[in-house]
Amino acid sequence: MTVKVVGIIGSPRKGMNTDTLVSRALEGAKSSGADTEKIYLNDLKILPCQACTRFPAPDYCFFHDGMDKIYQALLNADALVIGAPAYFGSMSAQLKLLIDRSNCLAEMIALPDGKVRFISRLEKRKKGIFIWVANLSKNPEPALVSIRLWSKYFANVELLDTLLATESDLGEGARNKKEYLEQAFNLGVLLVQP
Ligand SMILES: Cc1cc2nc3c(=O)[nH]c(=O)nc-3n(C[C@H](O)[C@H](O)[C@H](O)COP(=O)(O)O)c2cc1C
């Protein structure tokens, strides 16, 4: 069966670094036989999470907007390429909105010892890679804290690797650097391996 890989682009700048590297990863996946799709978060109208504290099951949210496209992708994709620029050391608001609106993708289970556990409501396990694009910042950890939590407990994604592309706006730009383009392509290939 054909593997479906969805690229999610968190930068508003089409054709720039995040877009180029996510697209390159999708090319790698396609070269290994995958069907690919690209979603530009900036093209979607996504309301911020309203913390309404009610559970929307069987839906994933009470609000129906651009997130419906994302929920469908998370239900149907076999693998994800998630790309975001570093904004203030972390990630763009476009991607953070998606993450916050994933809050009801998990059920919170209370344990007898008083602790709680989140369990994803999405049955399908997906592979994923994260591409973080920064100009001067070097530390992806602030972004990765959210990406790891989201992947593991909410989106049911096994995060295989992270590509760090720095000095994105210096010189020729990260989008023209052979090493990043190669790494992105190879990660796309990796996503399709059984
Ligand atoms: C609001 C804003 C905040 C930014 N914050 C950072 C930052 O903290 N660290 C950094 O290295 N670059 C920062 N940048 C630069 C972007 O990360 C850089 O331009 C990146 O290439 C954007 O990705 P894109 O080329 O795919 O649009 C910021 C840019 C903007 C617009």
Q: What Å distances lie between residue 90 and 32, 79, 86, 106, 130, CA to CA?
A: 32, 23, 5, 23, 13
Task: Tell me the average pLDDT of the chain.
Answer: 97
**Atom 2, ligand 1: residue with shortest CA distance:** 87
CATH of the domain at 140: 3.40.50.360
Confirm or reject: Cβ of 86 under 6 Å from ligand 1.
yes
What is the model's pLDDT at position 131? 98
As a whole number of angstroms, the distance between CA 35 and CA 79 comes to: 10
pLDDT at 169: 97
Cβ 13 under 6 angstroms from ligand 1: yes
User: Is the minimum distance from the CB of 104 to ligand 1 under 6 angstroms?
Assistant: no
Instruction: Give percent of the chain with pLDDT exceeding 90.
Output: 98
> What is the H or E stretch that residue 69 is in?
helix 67-76
Q: Whose CA is nearest to atom 9 of ligand 1?
A: 137
Judged against a pLDDT cut of 90, whether residue 1 lies above it is answered with no
Tokens representing residue 149 in the block: 């939590």
| pLDDT tens column, 110-169 | 999 999 999 999 999 999 999 999 999 999 999 999 999 999 999 999 999 999 999 999
Which residues does 38 contact at the CB level (< 8 Å), separation at least 6? 6, 7, 9, 22, 23, 26
What is each CA distance from 181 to 6, 58, 100, in whole angstroms?
Answer: 18, 40, 30
Integer CA distances (angstroms), 176 to 37, 61, 152, 166, in order: 22, 39, 32, 12
Is the separation of the CB atoms in 154 and 146 below 8 Å? no
pTM of the model: 0.97
- If one counts the domains in the chain, the total is 1
Q: Determine if ligand 1 sits within 6 Å of the CB of residue 40.
A: no
pLDDT given for residue 53 in this prediction: 85
Q: What's the pLDDT score for residue 175?
A: 97
Residue-number span of the structural domain to which 144 is assigned? 4-192
Residue minimizing CA distance to atom 5 of ligand 1: 87
Residue whose CA is at the smallest distance from ligand 1 atom 31: 87
Q: Whose CA is nearest to atom 23 of ligand 1?
A: 85
Residue 68 has phi, psi (to 5 degrees) of: -60, -35
Token look-up 């993450």 returns 99
187: number of Cβ within 10 Å: 23
- How far does residue 108's CA lie from ligand 1's centre (Å)? 34
**Which numbered atom of ligand 1 lies nearest the CA of 20?**
26
